[in-house]
């Protein structure tokens, strides 16, 4: 492992070489490392890099004023947490020694180590980390944007400015049809569309109106959850609570004036079904950011996500580009827990690349999804690339547990704000080994 001083010397030599040998127009702003995105992955990588490279060597491109702990928005939607408790100023979570560039990325030119910003400025870099997150495509459901604006019974926990609609909508629903949808696209926090369903169902039950409300989960995939062990638990919960699960249903459009939602039947030849609603929570379609998909360079795969090696997080074509999190095509669930493990692998691979060596990381796909199933219950799913459970605690986490709910509500936010964003939390691997007396991965 190179020392911080050795890394800085190498980067200085690289910069001198660029300054005195490049021809043509020089850009005004150059950094040894540019990080695109100030989400969980961008912050964690920037924190590690600033410690290793020193002040002025790392730039983070992020226009947002606030950083949000989005995993807590399920509890905001259920009336358990205030949305203000999920946010901090971006300036307070980014490392002080980084250059915070408050612009949006407008374009990529990886052949010339350049990114363009929406104000026309250009940044050049020696190494680039892409952590731009996933894009919410509300426009892909006809009528959804207008319905979210105009209909108080249409809600989603996936946006800061709509998550506070959810609990009033739950409270206002006294009878009729309650629909919860999961899209036919990749999605961040794949458990979120059904977690709010379990919380709403419990709220209605406790307030004596559940027998007048028909709760339906309409999901595009053919399974309720991708890991069989936890899927079996969730199927049993739905059976016990009389929740109807409709597989291979993809939300196509909403007409809020008629209180109707139209679904594509994915296993049919273009057939649809129309359902009335009195309440609907939408898990919106999602995709790789347009700025990546629209790039003429070969930075994305056929699905529109950053094309990286799933084990090392290094780009498959451009060796000085790394990526992680929701914008990447790493084939695991898009969660903060996945990012926690990925950023350590990425950073060590980045140091090796800076030293002219080949990254040798072995990310195993670890991710976690705390499946909240009630106001004091949670199934803590943890698994790898292959859907094999990687459970931290020495008991069966496939069961609903009160302890896991409080781990989710109280412990995980503290780890996130105090450790992960500072680059000092890379998942529970060592805790898991301790809990299992060394007999685990």
The proportion of the chain whose per-residue pLDDT surpasses 70, expressed as a percent, equals: 93
pLDDT tens for each residue of 393-412: 999 999 999 999 999 999 99
**Whether residue 189 lies in the annotated active site:** yes
Where exactly are the structural domains of the chain? 4-134+288-354, 137-285, 367-435
CATH of 137-285, one of 3.20.20.140, 3.40.50.10310, 3.30.590.10, 3.50.50.60: 3.50.50.60
User: For residues 170 and 79, what is the distance between their CA atoms, to the nearest angstrom?
Assistant: 9
pLDDT band at 7 (very low <50, low <70, confident <90, very high): very low
Cα 112 → chain centroid:
29
Range with lowest mean pLDDT among 13-27, 96-110, 261-275, 278-292: 13-27
Mean pLDDT, residues 368-380: 97
Q: What's the average model confidence in pLDDT over 362-379?
A: 97
Strand 29-36, strand 58-61: pairing? parallel
Q: How confident is the model at residue 154 (pLDDT cuts 50, 70, 90)?
A: very high
* Contact assessment for residue 272 and residue 260, using Cβ atoms and an 8 Å cutoff: no
314-327 average pLDDT score: 98
Q: Which residues pair with 179 in a beta bridge?
A: 216, 280
Is residue 441 scored above 90 in pLDDT? no
Point out which residues pair with 161 in neighbouring strands: none
Residue 369 bears catalytic tag = yes
**Model pTM score:** 0.91
Q: What is the pLDDT of residue 181?
A: 98
Q: Do domains 4-134+288-354 and 137-285 have the same CATH topology?
A: yes
Question: Catalytic pick from 98, 327, 369, 378?
Answer: 369
The pLDDT tens digits of the residues spanning 234-278 come to: 999 999 999 999 999 999 999 999 999 999 999 999 999 999 999
Catalytic residue among 98, 189, 327, 378: 189
Per-residue pLDDT tens over the stretch 112-145: 999 999 999 999 999 999 999 999 999 999 999 9
Q: Does the structure show a pLDDT above 70 at 28?
A: no
- With b for 16 or more beta-carbon neighbours within 10 A and e for fewer, the 141-151 pattern comes to bebbeebbeeb
Would you state the structure tokens that stand for residue 319, as one six-digit string? 């060796």
Torsion of CA 34, 35, 37, 38, to 10 degrees: -110
The encoded tokens of residue 403 equal 């302890």
Which own/partner pairs from 390-394 qualify as long-range (CB within 8 Å, at least 24 positions apart)?
390/364, 390/366, 390/432, 390/440, 390/441, 391/432, 392/428, 392/431, 392/432, 392/435, 393/435, 394/435, 394/436
The tens digit of pLDDT for each residue in 412-428 reads 999 999 999 999 999 99
Domain 4-134+288-354 architecture: 3-Layer(bba) Sandwich (3.50)
Mapped onto helix, strand or coil, the DSSP state of residue 256 is coil
């Amino acid at each position: 492992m190179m020392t911080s001083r050795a890394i800085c010397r190498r980067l200085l030599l690289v910069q001198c070489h660029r300054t005195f040998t490049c021809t043509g127009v020089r850009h005004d702003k150059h950094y040894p490392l540019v990080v695109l995105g100030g989400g969980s992955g961008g912050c964690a990588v920037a924190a590690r890099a600033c410690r290793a490279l020193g002040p002025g060597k790392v730039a983070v491109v992020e226009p947002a004023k606030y950083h949000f702990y989005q995993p807590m928005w399920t509890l905001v939607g259920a009336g358990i947490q205030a949305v203000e408790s999920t946010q901090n100023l971006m300036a307070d979570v980014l490392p002080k020694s980084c250059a915070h560039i408050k612009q949006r990325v407008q374009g990529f030119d990886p052949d010339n180590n350049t990114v363009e910003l929406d104000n026309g400025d250009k940044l050049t870099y020696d190494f680039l980390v892409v952590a731009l997150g996933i894009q919410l495509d509300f426009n892909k459901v006809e009528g959804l944007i207008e319905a979210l604006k105009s209909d108080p019974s249409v809600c989603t926990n996936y946006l800061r400015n709509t998550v506070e609609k959810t609990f009033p909508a739950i409270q206002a629903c006294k009878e009729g049809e309650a629909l919860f949808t999961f899209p036919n696209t990749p999605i961040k926090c794949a458990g979120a569309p059904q977690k709010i369903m379990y919380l709403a169902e419990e709220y209605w039950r406790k307030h004596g109106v559940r027998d007048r409300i028909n709760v339906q989960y309409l999901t595009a995939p053919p399974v309720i959850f991708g890991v069989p062990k936890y899927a079996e638990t969730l199927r049993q919960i739905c059976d016990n609570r009389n929740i109807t699960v409709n597989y291979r249903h993809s939300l196509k459009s909403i007409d809020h004036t008629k209180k109707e939602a139209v679904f594509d039947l994915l296993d049919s030849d273009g057939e649809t079904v129309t359902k009335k609603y009195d309440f609907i929570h939408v898990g919106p379609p999602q995709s790789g950011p347009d700025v990546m998909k629209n790039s003429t360079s070969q930075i994305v795969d056929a699905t529109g996500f950053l094309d990286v090696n799933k084990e090392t997080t290094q780009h498959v074509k451009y060796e000085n580009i790394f990526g992680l999190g929701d914008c990447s095509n790493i084939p695991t669930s898009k969660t903060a827990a996945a990012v926690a493990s990925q950023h350590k692998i990425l950073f060590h691979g980045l140091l090796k690349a800076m030293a002219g060596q080949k990254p040798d990381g072995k990310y195993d796909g670890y991710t976690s999804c705390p499946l909240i199933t009630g106001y004091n219950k949670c199934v803590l799913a943890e698994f790898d690339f292959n859907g094999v459970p990687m459970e931290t605690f020495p008991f069966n986490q496939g069961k609903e547990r009160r302890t896991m709910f409080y781990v989710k509500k109280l412990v995980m936010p503290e780890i996130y704000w105090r450790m992960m964003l500072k680059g000092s939390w890379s998942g529970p691997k060592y805790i898991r080994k301790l809990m299992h007396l060394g007999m685990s991965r």
